[in-house]
Amino acid sequence: MRSLVGLIFSLGALLPVVSPNLGVSPVGNGGDLVNGALLPATIGALRPMTPLHLGDTGAHRPLDLPVPGANGDGEDEDAPESIMFYGSTFEGDAFFWTMDKSCSMGWGGQLEVLKQEVTGAVGQLSSRAHFGMNAFGDNNLEWAGALRPANSGNKMAGLGWVWLLQAGGGTCVAPSAVSGLSQLQASNKRRKRLIVVSDGMPGGCGTALAQATAITGANWSDIPIDTVWIAAGGSGADWLRDLASSNGGTFTAAQ
């Protein structure tokens, strides 16, 4: 009998005791097993065990979270608008047109073509873009006095104003161009463009050199100034080319 009891006590020191609440822990350090029950010394020796899950290697892997725009379904709202105007491509998110309505623009229907070109370009803008317009002859004529979002209502209003323009007067470019720059500078858009369309050499409100100087001097924020020359008056191409070159823009000759 003593040998059997001794064997039981020896096994109690070596075999693990399973507790439904605390996990698995060997009995030792003086713990005793009597009639299948644990004595207090043995209970104190038990300690909780961390559950081990199958397949758990102990390494942490990053979560596979979706990346916004990764599937290519959404539009990139930061991408610039791209429009065609007189056969050239212009990119930006804020556009301002300064348009010649001088007398010579009515000689061969150039003003009507300009209206069609502006209508097509404005129609290409999404509602995220902003746009503005003015026109010059002897004086500056403003559409809205500030840039407007290119939603359908503003497009209709702006283009309605364009189609009411009548040819007449001289080629006083500078006041209109400076006003367009001011309106662009007030916009919170990042990619801004001023597009100046004319058919001849400036005059009527200062020399060509004085007007170019006034426009470039007002462009303190380095907004690209693109120019389009309509070969109706037969002059002014060099002036428009130089204006674009001095202000980081492009020159287009529309025949």
Specify if 86 maps to a domain.
yes
Q: Give the structural domain span for 109.
A: 81-254
Considering the domain architecture, whether residues 161 and 105 belong to the same structural domain is answered as: yes
Q: Is there a single domain that holds both residue 118 and residue 31?
A: no
pLDDT for res 77: 61
At 231 the pLDDT is 80
pLDDT digits (tens, 9 = 90+) for 104-135: 999 989 999 999 999 999 999 999 999 999 99
Collect all residues with Cβ–Cβ distance below 8 Å to 50 and sequence separation of at least 6: 23
* CB-based contact 93:80 (threshold 8 Å): yes
Average pLDDT, the chain: 80
Residue 147 lies in a domain: yes
Whether the per-residue pLDDT at 20 is higher than 60: the answer is no
- Tally of domains within the chain: 2
Output the pLDDT for position 123. 98
Alpha carbons 98 and 196: distance in angstroms, whole number: 5
Domain annotation covers residue 156: yes
In this structure, the answer to whether residues 35 and 136 fall within a common structural domain is no
Shared domain for 31 and 134, answered yes or no, is: no
- Residue 51 within a domain: no
pLDDT confidence of residue 232: 59
pLDDT for 164-194, tens place per residue? 999 999 999 999 999 999 999 999 999 999 9
pLDDT digits 0-9 by tens, 48-81: 444 434 344 444 444 444 444 444 444 456 789 9
Predicted confidence at residue 32, as pLDDT, reads 44
Confidence of residue 234 (pLDDT cuts 50, 70, 90): low
